[in-house]
A and B are shown apart, each in its own frame.
Chain A
Amino acid sequence: MEHGTQLPPHLADIKKEIEGHARSFGLEFYETIFEVLNYDEINMVAAYGGFPNRYPHWRFGMEYEQLSKGYEYGLSKIYEMVINNNPSYAYLLESNMDVDQKLVMAHVFGHVDFFKNNFSFQHTNRKMMDEMANHATRLRRIIDKVGIEPVESFIDRALSLENLINQHAPHFPPRPRNDGEEAPIEVRGFKTNREYMSQFINPKEFLDEQRKKLEDERAQKKKFPERPERDVLLFLIENAPLERWEADILAVIREEAYYFAPQGQTKVANEGWASYWHSTIMTTRALKDSEVIDYADHHSGTMGIRPGAINPYKLGIELWRHIEDRWNKGRFGKEWDECDDLRARRAWDRKLGLGRQKIFEVRKHYNDITFIDEFLTPEFCVDQKMFTYGFNEKANRWEIVDREFQKVKRKLLQQLTNFGQPIIEVVDGNFENRGELLLAHRHDGTDLRVDYAKDTLSNLQAMWRRPVGIVTKVDGKGVLMRFDGRDHTDRKVEL
């Protein structure tokens, strides 16, 4: 795949047309470069997470195999893949019909607009395409030096910890290492009310000894890290006994994790936004009569729902439309909130026409959590037939549990807390004064998967070299899972 590949003329025309529509609707995006790939190439790029060049690792090969199979079985054919980069890169599948290419382009411009304008992405590296290639080179160089085997198993371990970053970190400036002066130690000897006796009651040697004791005590008490650290990867890079190349790889994995994190934080809003725009552009501008059937077919394919999962495309597009509709009709504000006459609410239309303006504003300042928290309404919940489901242990099957708005919303938000990742932080790097690493899982109602947790602990231990442990809850009881390099042990702890 060469950079700057020319689009074939008819696709270049289509791009020009769609780009024009997108701009006229007010979308604002980086220059976007489309590459036409055959299905082998597109599977490769998809396996690499959208990038043409990644470091060598078998996991990409696994992805590739799964994707290739999906294509052979005819399961997935339309790709929309776009890189958050300036300029943005996106890919078109060679064999797709023109109408599909239009749809993909329109969708892609939606994404690039979102990347450029949504606050979650403001700290992401917009030259990530180059950065990824640099990472690949760096890792290849390390492989040349130390060999593929140790590097591969280290990457395996590092990837096992890749979700242990601070999802919110990019928005805070790094805190200073040492904050605040410590209060000076004050040594008090025995009480004496006779000044002349003091040097006999509290001789200098004794006072020095006392001071030393207090200093030691303070050092003992001093926590390491001083406060819980959610960026476990950073903590490891700074404090684990790693070889230089190991720290280097860990830094690469961490950087890539931070790059991808905002995409996980805005899945619903971002996919919804792109879908809203491909639908709007296609149905109001770009679609030819002869293409309507194929478009409808493929659009509805993307929007399909399954009872056991949320389709972010569907949820997203409906929420955006819902917001637009509400602000068009003036269904917001004090008056609307206080109106409990159902008939009046149904007929409510102030003809404000503020919808478009509102959604552009929202796409700037919201991520999935705030987006759903603010704009999921009871009406929407009913319209979209949303429900919560749970596992019925007795019957050994999944069942619909409830359709009540508050519960649906709470569950949805709970799934999105910390963007779907358990919150885990380093609480002690010198646990029980034995150099052991202790993590804590901030339990929010859902247990960790124990088998995965244990394997992850093994990987962590291999980096920390000393025993490691994590405090969590299993079935409501506090447990310290520990791995010392040979055995896994569980110990009850009070929380």
Chain B
Amino acid sequence: MPLRIKQDHSRFREIIRGRIKENLRKYIQKGEMIGKKGKDLITIPVPSIDIPHFKYGHKDQGGVGQGDGAPGTVLAPGAVEGDGKGKAGQGEGQHSLEVDLSLDELADILGEELALPRIQNKGKKNLTTPKVKYTGVHTAGPESLRHFKRTYKQALKRSIASGAYNPAIPIVVPVREDKRYRSWRMQELPQSNAVVIYMMDVSGSMGDEQKEIVRIESFWIDTWLRANYKGLETRYIIHDAVAREVDRETFFHTRESGGTMISSAYKLCKEMMDADYDSGSWNIYPFHFSDGDNWSADDTRTCIGLLKNEVLTKVNQFAYGQVESPYGSGQFIKDLREAFDGVENVALSEIANKDAIYNSIKDFLGKGS
């Protein structure tokens, strides 16, 4: 019997989804509003969910407690209930409730709200991975897979039936025929692997704000792609005049001062693909972010050549995001636009500020390729 409460519960989740959708733009702008909890869960502060009452503001109220300590002793953070929720005097609609949400659900909401098409595996033959699944019980098998409970049950049945069982001395000895073993079958599970290769310009003209934008974008891109592909890998490349692969932490926090040669990153990206990601079995998504300043027109030409001949043929989509910065000329995106006008699997987006992240995610993921 399904519990009566399930109805109320699903209504509650529905309301939460609605609220998150309404406020998605805000969440997208501020990646830090979303806390990670475990592997697949995130915590989202949802505004105005709880029912408002006339009630006392907490901070000027204080209270009575029990325990050791002289006057002036600090109470541990979190010791006081309702702490940290803002104090009286703030505007309306400040109260919020933290709600757990799975990344899949978040991706769903993102997809619905931004009207993102589901990604189709283009032209890739169906890949499968074998997976072991225990499906039944057999009378033969290795001892390591012996099913103790079933074996015991069988032996008990036999000894009771044969009259050998004595309740006073309930010893049951299994014989060969009693033994039962778990059996398995190999299952071919469809598999879809994807890799995201993030590239970012870390030359002097990319400031903290620009990197913050890249960080937030990458969170949403990851979330969406992860919901579409079972296994998602991410690789990070930074470049100024030369490119190198780094880990995530370094990716977002490095600042170099050299010039900018974008082709260096594309070269490394190509090498990476050649080495690790066979385009027949991987869905590849390179994302490149820069402020649009390249060293020379020559280098830009090299980039376009690389993309055309080496990269675009292998990837699902190549995306370039140009983050506005006070120092960049912003020329690069114009060159790309000229070269790849009408090309299916190139997504270009200009990101002026945090407000623009919302639309740029749409630019990047709206093609469904």
> Is B truly associated with A?
yes
| Chain A residues within CB distance 8 Å of chain B | 40-41, 43-44, 47-48, 53, 56-62, 64-65, 69, 152, 156, 159-164, 305-311, 314-315, 384-391, 395, 397-403, 408, 411-412, 415, 421-422, 424, 441, 446-456, 459, 470, 474-475, 488
Alpha-carbon distance A39/B48, docked complex (angstroms): 29
Asked if A56 and B7 make an inter-chain contact with CB atoms under 8 angstroms apart, the answer reads: yes
Contact of B52 (CB < 8 Å), options: A387, A398, A452: A452
Of residues A48, A311, A386, A391, which shows the largest number of chain B Cβ atoms within 10 Å of its Cβ? A391
B43 to chain A, nearest CB (A): 12
Majority secondary structure, B binding face:
loop
Residues of A contacting B13 with CB < 8 Å?
61
Which residue of chain A has its CB nearest to the CB of B92? Answer: A454
Q: List 5 extra interface pairs beyond A310-B64, A399-B72, CB under 8 A.
A: A310-B63, A387-B66, A450-B57, A455-B93, A488-B92
* A residues in contact with B81, CB < 8 Å: 308-309
Instruction: Give bound CA distance, A309 to B62, whole Å.
Output: 10
Q: Within the complex, what minimum Cβ distance (angstroms) separates A331 from chain B? A: 22
Q: Knowing A310-B64, A384-B66, A456-B53 touch, does A399 contact B74 (C-beta < 8 A)?
A: yes
* Given A62-B49, A159-B51, A411-B62: A448 in contact with B74 (beta carbons within 8 A): no
Expressed in whole angstroms, the Cα–Cα distance for A44 and B2 within the complex equals 11
Please classify how large the interface on chain B is, using the bins under 10, 10 to 19, 20 to 34, 35 or more.
Answer: 35 or more
- List residues of chain A with CB within 8 A of the CB of B59: 391
Q: How far is the CA of A77 from the CA of B272 in the complex (A)?
A: 52
Tell yes or no: B191 within 8 A of A by CB. Answer: no
Q: Assuming A56-B7, A309-B65, is B75 touching A451 (CB within 8 A)? A: no
Q: Which of chain B's residues has its CB closest to A52's CB?
A: B4
- With a cutoff of 8 Å between Cβ atoms, the chain B residues found around residue A161 in the complex are 53
B8 partner residues in chain A, CB cutoff 8 A: 47, 56-61, 64
A57-B8, A387-B71 are contacts. A449–B63 as well, Cβ < 8 Å?
no
Within 8 A of A (CB), among B77-134: 77, 79-81, 83, 86, 88-95, 100
Which residue of B51, B55, B65 is within 8 Å of A421 (Cβ)? B55
Known contacts A61-B9, A62-B12, A64-B9, A307 near B54 by CB under 8 Å: no
CB neighbours of A311 from chain B (8 A): 66
Residues of B within 8 A of A411 (CB): 62-64
Partner of A390, one of B55, B62, B66, B83: B62
Q: Are B54 and A448 in contact (CB under 8 A)?
A: yes
B72 touches A400 (CB 8 A): yes
A-side contacts of B62, CB under 8 Å: 388-391, 398, 401, 411
Contacts of B51 in A (CB 8 A): 59, 156, 159-160
Q: When the two chains form their complex, are residues B94 and A451 in contact, meaning their CB atoms are under 8 A apart?
A: yes
Asked whether, in the complex, the Cβ of A398 is within 8 Å of the Cβ of B89, the reply is: no
B169 interfacial by beta-carbon distance below 8 Å: no
Q: In the complex, which residues of chain A have a beta carbon less than 8 angstroms from the beta carbon of B83?
A: 308, 398
Question: Can you list 28 A-B contacts (CB < 8 A)?
Answer: A41-B3, A53-B4, A59-B12, A60-B5, A61-B7, A61-B10, A61-B13, A159-B51, A308-B75, A308-B80, A308-B83, A310-B64, A310-B66, A385-B68, A389-B64, A397-B77, A400-B65, A402-B71, A422-B54, A441-B54, A446-B61, A447-B56, A450-B89, A450-B92, A451-B91, A451-B94, A455-B92, A456-B53
List residues of chain B with CB within 8 A of the CB of A64.
Answer: 5, 8-9, 12
Closest Cβ–Cβ distance, residue B58 to chain A (whole Å): 7
| B15 contacts partner chain A, Cβ-Cβ < 8 Å | yes
Q: Which residues of B contact A408 (CB under 8 A)?
A: 64
Cβ distance B253 to chain A, nearest Cβ, rounded Å: 28
Please give, as numbers and ranges, the residues of chain A lying within 8 Å of B91 by CB-CB distance: 451
- Asked if A47 meets B92 with Cβ closer than 8 Å, knowing A69-B100, A309-B81, A400-B70, the reply is no
B55 touches A308 (CB 8 A): no
Q: Is B275 an interface residue (CB 8 A)?
A: no
A447-B60 contact in complex given A59-B51, A62-B12, C-beta closer than 8 Å? yes
Q: Is the CB of A65 within 8 A of B67?
A: no
- CB neighbours (8 Å) of B11 from chain A are 56-58, 61, 152
A-B pairs, 4 with minimum CB distance: A308-B79, A61-B12, A61-B8, A390-B62
A271 CA to B257 CA in the complex, in Å?
67
Which chain B residues border A389 with CB–CB below 8 Å?
Answer: 62-65, 75, 80
Question: Is A58 touching B55 in the complex (CB atoms < 8 A)?
Answer: no
Minimum CB distance partner of B67 in chain A: A307
Contact of B56 among A65, A391, A449, A475 (CB under 8 A): A449
Closest to B80 in A: A308
Evaluate whether A305 and B55 lie within 8 angstroms (CB atoms) in the complex, with A61-B11, A451-B92 already known.
Answer: no
